[in-house]
Structure 1
Amino acid sequence: MHILIVEDEAAIADTLIYALQSEGFTTTWLALGQAALESVRQAEPDLLILDVGLPDISGFEVCKQLRRFSEVPVIFLTARDGEIDRVVGLEIGADDYVVKPFSPREVAARVKVILKRVAPRDVSNSAAVLRYFGFELDPKRVQVHYLGQPLSLTRHEFKLLNVLLDQPERVFSREQLLDGLGIAADAGYERNIDSHIKSLRAKLRQINASHDPIQTHRGLGYSLKCGR
């Protein structure tokens, strides 16, 4: 599998390249964000390791632009350990966040966990198209329509909606929704579920502003409403 490393410090890139190649990955190293965007457009890697502090544009901006055309998994590298930076990184579409200095072997391990999580699964038991009160979700084609109109969702938003549609009216805790995304509940991302739900609601309101099909259960979690 191919890993694209976007890091302007050669010494850091070298340690990552060595650790990843030791685990059997192929790697490409780029030092600039714009070059990374062009590279992904031409040939999408299996995962992107992205430094936040790049010399041309920030890694956050790279990720924002990337999410307009690709759902490739992203791990941020950063020298900043503030909670707000981690939250922002995850909200704009990153899959993980590693603070410098770090162990290259740990990064390689995180890469393997993410790739295992996003790998295509056996959909023999979940391939049926889900239709429910205006929704039509096709797990095989990764397509969803709401009130006859297509929804453009991130990978995480699609999986969340799939979980909710599969069992309407059931109240899912944040931990259970994280499990639906393939993220361990002890990873500390419970509150990030709220951000994904907020974004999903905003996209649904663009189609029908008068109805919110996602029900919030304070202190418990979320469910999909039955009817209007």
Structure 2
Amino acid sequence: MNNKETILICDDDPVVHESLKIYLNNEGFEFISIFNGDDALEELERSNPALVVLDIMMPGKNGLEVCKEIRKTSSIPIIMLTAKGEEIDRILGLELGADDYIVKPFSPREVVARIKAVRRRVVESSEEGKSSTLNFGSLEISIKKYQVKYDGKVIISTPKEVEILYLMASNIGQVFSREQILDRVWGYDFYGDTRTVDTHIRRIRAKLPQEGTNWSLQTVYGVGYKFEVE
């Protein structure tokens, strides 16, 4: 039986595929090469990759559009590839649900290291023990399943959104600075800034009810965020 994880790479540059294929194979990953956004969405319906590496600038559907489509139905980890200096693309990618981004030109070793770091955190979190599921009335947060439910319905969430919510709900009343959340959730040297945390918090709030609950995700101005229960 083949236990290798599969990484889907979507980029219109064949050189990117060739350089990453060597390093991914050496690290024990399978590899799917896709060269445009439409084909990436079709492939995701057929296969079940562990992670998607998605270039923003592509013919047809660009990476941001593909990311948005994926997030309608899936919480699969997504790493975006962006052009140097295109800060607006990086911010939009994170707002649409990407878990991380890498700026071109990049080292293939860096990409593989990021992939391994994201996958390691997913696996480690899914293997946590007794406290893997938290319940607050109608809200259920399962780090083992990487799933958030409200009133029995699954809320489509990215891995980072689940990890942030689980971290804060596991520490009721504790104030986390943006830097602490970056360190605890991303778990490796992140080259972005603290606005990444604000983007993810905003997305979490948009998906969950803000009234009529006994819990709340609060902003502590000038410091960070906390999860409170009445």
- What residue number does 2:17 align with? 13
- How many residues align? The count is 224
List aligned pairs for 1:1-228, cutoff 5 A. Answer: 1-121=5-125, 122-127=127-132, 129-132=133-136, 135-146=139-150, 148=151, 150=153, 152=155, 153-184=157-188, 187-205=191-209, 208=211, 213-227=216-230
Structure with the greater alpha carbon radius of gyration: 1
TM-score, scaled to structure 2: 0.84
User: Which stretch of structure 1 is more off in the superposition, 213-222 or 118-127?
Assistant: 118-127
Alpha carbons of structure 1 residues 168 and 15: separation in structure 2 relative to 1, 3 Å = same
After TM superposition, give the deviation of residue 137 of structure 1 in Å. Answer: 3.0
Q: Deviations over 1:129-172 (max 9, x none)?
A: 423365333444444444x3535133222222222221222211
After TM superposition, give the deviation of residue 173 of structure 1 in Å. Answer: 1.4
Conservation of the 8 A alpha-carbon contact between 2:99 and 2:158: no
What RMSD, in angstroms, separates the aligned Cα atoms of the two structures?
A: 2.5
The structure that is strand-richer by fraction is 2
Identity between Structure 1 and Structure 2 (%): 39
What residue identity is the alignment partner of 1:126?
A: S
TM-score, scaled to structure 1: 0.85
After TM superposition, give the deviation of residue 124 of structure 1 in Å. Answer: 1.4
Alpha carbons of structure 1 residues 159 and 214: separation in structure 2 relative to 1, 3 Å = same
After TM superposition, give the deviation of residue 62 of structure 1 in Å. Answer: 0.6
Contiguous gaps of at least 5 residues in structure 1: none
Q: Distance in 2 between matches of 1:69 and 1:203?
A: 14
The residue matched to 1:116 in structure 2 has which SS?
A: helix
What residue identity is the alignment partner of 2:168?
A: L
After TM superposition, give the deviation of residue 210 of structure 1 in Å. Answer: 9.1
